Amino acid sequence: MLRAEPAPRVLTVTQLAALVRETLEGGVGRVWVAGEISNLRPAPSGHVYFTLKDEQSQLGAVLFRSVAQVLAFRPADGMEVLVSARVGLYPPRGALQLYVDTMEPRGLGALQLAFEQLKARLGAEGLFAAGRKRPLPRFPRAVGIVTALGGAVIHDMRTVLRRRWPACRIVVRPVRVQGAGAGREVAAGIEDLNRLGGLDVLIVGRGGGSLEDLWAFNEEVAARAIAASALPVVSAVGHEVDFTIADFVADARAPTPTAAAALVVPDREEVTAGLVRAEAALRRALARRVVAARERVAGLERALGDPARRVRDLGQRIDDLAARVRRGLLRRLAWERREVMTLATRLARSGPAPGLPRARERMAAAGERLRFALAVRVRHARGTVEQAAGRLDALSPLACLERGYAIVRRGDSTGPVVRDADTLAAGDPVALVFARGRARARVEGTEPEKEP
């Protein structure tokens, strides 16, 4: 059976596609959708195509270049993401597609993820290698600083630099250290200070802040500028705990800008003390050197020995030798004399010899001289004896008695000689000894010696 039905409305494919798209956009519109990225395909145009899926379903998605460029992190297969997207139809292929406006990683924050990704990438390139780190100059003449001009940071760094090492030029390259494009500015600042020349070391940093505030120092452009710097770079991002990418790439990392200032210059007081020590060491060493030289001279002098003593020693040896020679000679002489005498005796015994008459004459003459000498000697001896007798005579008490003196003795002639009248009393017996003979007497009385 036929029923008259209104002719069905026939659409072109394009019309249908447009209808579906309108329905989708009107009915679903902009949504937040969570899923896992798979089959990620970056296109030369800069657009990024991928599939967003969960356990049961999957949908195609596109990330246009303008969006992909501003993402802090890089989407990758397997990554769980949250996207804000418009649901639409891509008519050329009749495919349902998510047009992604923004994308955030799930789990980690976007910045954190970006940080980890960049860190892994630059690390893989070897930019953090210890071998790339350059030593900082010990005594920089000029320090370049890349930081914001306003605020306490630059003032604090100047104070530290002036206190520790005042004879140091400072060149500040002011940059914005946070906000969009800050990383680019930091990089430009590093490049400019390298181009300026005359600097010895750079400090790149800012005061403390949140991860977002410090973001410029986690940007690849800043990291690459630090790595490319001809001058050693000290990173000084005021964040005690977390490291920034700049910290990893820099030649040295300081926890704060003031710490960086202290790191790049030595302490004048310490260096001065070192100079004082060096001067003392110089003086000590020279004094020791002089003493050593003096001792060496003394030692050599000793080794040479006292020449006078050597002469004396030699003299003594010569004396010893001479004495031995003399003794030897004497022995030889004595021996020869004995030999001669023996020979003479044998000669005498063996009868007359031609020399005998002369010997007899000599003996006679000798006998004469001996007699004469003896006579002289006897005469001389006699004279000496007489002279001595005369002197002895003069000393004898007998000679006094001969001249009329007498000796008085107490009692008899063997008693003690009386020298003092006081030792006698009237009636005492005394003996008088004369030159010839004695007399016995008795004292009539005594008179003590008158005082003059």
Chain residues binding other proteins by CB under 8 A are: 137-139, 141, 144, 149-150, 155, 158, 161-162, 166-174, 192-193, 195-198, 268, 271-272, 275, 278-279, 281-286, 288-290, 292-293
Q: For residues 291 and 325, which CB has a smaller minimum distance to other proteins in the complex?
A: 291
Least spacing, CB of residue 96 vs other proteins, in Å: 50
The candidate with the shortest Cα–Cα distance to 247, out of 262, 226, 263, is 226
CA separation, residue 394 to residues 22, 178, 382, 390, 398 (Å): 185, 145, 19, 6, 9
Q: For residues 82 and 271, which CB has a smaller minimum distance to other proteins in the complex?
A: 271
Cα–Cα dist 251/140, whole Å:
15
The candidate with the shortest Cα–Cα distance to 205, out of 228, 155, 239, 229, is 239
The β-bridge partners of 429 are 442
Q: For residues 103 and 172, which CB has a smaller minimum distance to other proteins in the complex?
A: 172
Cα–Cα dist 374/324, whole Å:
39
63-73 exposure pattern, b = at least 16 Cβ within 10 A, e = fewer: beeebbeebbb
Q: For residues 133 and 158, which CB has a smaller minimum distance to other proteins in the complex?
A: 158
Least spacing, CB of residue 143 vs other proteins, in Å: 10
Number of DSSP helices (H) and strands (E) in the chain, helices first: 12, 13
Least spacing, CB of residue 205 vs other proteins, in Å: 16
Question: CA 262, 264, 268 angle in degrees (round to 5)?
Answer: 65
Least spacing, CB of residue 36 vs other proteins, in Å: 46
Least spacing, CB of residue 169 vs other proteins, in Å: 5
Q: For residues 120 and 276, which CB has a smaller minimum distance to other proteins in the complex?
A: 276
Question: CA 166, 171, 174 angle in degrees (round to 5)?
Answer: 135
What are the CB-based long-range contacts (under 8 Å, 24+) for 7-15? Answer: 14/91
Q: For residues 181 and 383, which CB has a smaller minimum distance to other proteins in the complex?
A: 181
Q: For residues 138 and 369, which CB has a smaller minimum distance to other proteins in the complex?
A: 138
What values do phi and psi take at 122, rounded to 5? -70, -35
Least spacing, CB of residue 292 vs other proteins, in Å: 6
Least spacing, CB of residue 228 vs other proteins, in Å: 18
